[in-house]
Structure 1
Amino acid sequence: TMAELKELARSEKVVAIGETGLDFHYDFSPRQDQRRVFEAQLQIARELNRPAIIHSREAFDETIDILEQFIRLKGRLKGVVFHCFSGSARQARIVLDHGFYISFAGVVTFRN
């Protein structure tokens, strides 16, 4: 449950919340459920003053929309890192313009 996750995240050994976010590549869980859990985990990150590590696959616009709305309604997060970023240059600019960070993995070397 989210309450259990929050309790575990209180540990000083936990330095961030995530990876959390939206993955629309596979249809393993309903999108509305993904959105609800993502927002709940952002709330935990905010309450515990932890950065959020974001996973966003084929869901960039929705991910940014949720983050913008969350920040507008509840305030900034300690930090936001888009994990394993493989988006476009335009998307990277949007992420950076929000003051978020990007991490890259080997997937950026793939041809497709």
Structure 2
Amino acid sequence: MIRLLPMLAIALTAGCAVAQGVGIKGVPTGDVPTGDMADTCNAKTYQHLLGEGEDAVTAEGLEAGPKVRIFGPDAMLTLDHRPDRLNIKLDSGDRVIDVYCG
């Protein structure tokens, strides 16, 4: 019985281990695609807005709507991921701090 407890502890510990690099259903979790594959909303086109004010966003002809989301630090957002939606994140001073798809 005394020898069985350490073996049981090792077996239970091994059973709790998580395989790194493997996602749901054993699919490898490689790097997130970058470049043109991940730019489904043309976010690269608007990277020059980083550091600019909100007025630069509107000067580009971008307005909030189904395909464009412009939001600040205290905004309440839906959690749905839409690869075709352009997200423009503003800081508390209304400067663009991030431009991405989703």
TM bucket, shorter chain: under 0.3
TM-score (norm 1): 0.23
TM-score (norm 2): 0.24
Return the index of the structure with the highest Cα Rg.
2
